Amino acid sequence: MIFSPLKITQNKVAQKPIIQGGMAIRVSRAPLAAVVANCGGIGLIAVSGLPEPELRAQIRLARSLIKTPGGLLGVNMMFAASEFNNLVRISIEEKVDLIVFGAGFSRDIFSIGKAANVPIVPIVSSAKLAVLAKKLGATTIIVESGEAGGHVGTCEPIRTLIPEIRKALDSTPNLPGIDHISLVAAGGVTSGADIMEMLSLGANGVQMATRFILSNECDVHDNFKKLLLNTENNDICMIQSPVGLPARAILTPLTKKLLDDTLTRPNKCESCLKHCSRRFCIIKALEAARTGDLENGLFFTGANLPKYRDIISVKEIFERLEKEAEEYSRSQDLIQTQS
């Protein structure tokens, strides 16, 4: 096997160092997350925006679909969500393997996770936050770069962030009982060669999101997938999200209106965010994308989307990544032999 396992904690280990990123609203759901776990990776259900009955049902459905050991099942949520604390509580009650959170930072969640024996995995974009997370008890940290899709917290590329943050973490004393911090590279990773490069720079695994939308098991509307397949570099833009962060998305009628400042503000607010600019309703825009509404949908995507030009099964995604990693490793060995 070309890949080494990804250790979230001493007792939570994924056979493959690949996390399927959480994508809201209802883009990464139980069927997708379960297949990823069956392939030995870490499948994440995006839970922001889900009512409690649906959240519980999704986690239980995913558990029922996981038939093969070696993978893990987790959830992904936004700290910016009004229901963040409830989402954490419900996820812990449903005994997920890990909780991933981003779009903000919580200090309190680490002690809550520790008390429940559920690993808390923060998404950070700076060495400062990574070190803080380590001091608060994180054993795995996702480093998200400026190439990521959706909300981004930095302009820095992943190839700069990983060695910088690894060095900062290695210079910070470990807490008692914690011997290693796993780093996961997120943003701009599209191939097995990219994975091997991330590992060589100090990462222990990667998170990929956009690739998994273009899978048979992702149950978004076909319009969503067709849009992704036909998007070129100049069709991707940065907008300002109501969350208060920049976000990468595909140019559509909605995002063009946002960029032109011609979009009519909503008359009412669902209060789904702790703090919202109310420039537009992001939960409705993301749900519109999932259902294939090309006019009103907000389609988040990573910067390297044009590198994907097919829809395949999750199993084939894993097989392709491993094959590419093996080819990259052989080419590097050949270069070293010739030098």
296-307 tens-digit pLDDT: 999 999 999 999
Amino acid 1: pLDDT: 77
Percentage of the chain modeled with pLDDT above 90: 92
Average pLDDT over residues 107-132: 98
- Length in residues, the chain: 339
Amino acid 269: pLDDT: 83
Average pLDDT over residues 232-241: 97
Give dist(CA 320, CA 315) in Å, integer.
Answer: 9
Report DSSP letters for 236-256, one per residue. Answer: EEEEE-TTSSEEEEE--HHHH
Confidence of residue 332 (pLDDT cuts 50, 70, 90): confident
Q: 188 in the Ramachandran plot: left (φ > 0), alpha (ψ -120 to 50) or beta?
A: left
SS (HEC) of 66-88: CCCCCCEEEEEEECCECCHHHHH
| pLDDT, the chain, mean | 96
Amino acid 271: pLDDT: 82
Whether the per-residue pLDDT at 91 is higher than 90: the answer is: yes
Whether the per-residue pLDDT at 52 is higher than 90: the answer is: yes
Contact yes or no for 73/50 (Cβ under 8 A) = no
Confidence of residue 268 (pLDDT cuts 50, 70, 90): confident
pLDDT in tens, 10-37: 999 999 999 999 999 999 999 999 999 9
Contact yes or no for 156/165 (Cβ under 8 A) = no
Confidence of residue 339 (pLDDT cuts 50, 70, 90): low
Beta-bridge partners for 107: none
Give dist(CA 16, CA 39) in Å, integer.
Answer: 8
pLDDT, greater one: 64 or 339: 64
CATH class of 6-218+314-336: alpha beta
List Cα–Cα distances, 143 to 26, 77, 115, 125, 150, in angstroms: 23, 16, 25, 6, 14
- In sequence order, what are the residues at sequence separation of 6 or more whose Cβ sits closer than 8 angstroms to the Cβ of residue 306? 231, 232, 233
Quickly tell me which residue has 């936004």 as its tokens.
Answer: 78
Amino acid 19: pLDDT: 99
Neighbours of 314 (CB within 10 A): 25
Amino acid 320: pLDDT: 98
Domain boundaries, the chain: 6-218+314-336, 229-305
For residue 76, give both structure tokens: 């992904």
Contact yes or no for 157/185 (Cβ under 8 A) = no
Sheet with 150-151, side-by-side order of all strands:
150-151, 246-250, 236-240
Confidence of residue 334 (pLDDT cuts 50, 70, 90): low
Give dist(CA 125, CA 299) in Å, integer.
Answer: 22
Amino acid 250: pLDDT: 98
pTM of the predicted structure, to 2 decimals: 0.97
For residue 318, give both structure tokens: 């894993």
Give dist(CA 16, CA 42) in Å, integer.
Answer: 8
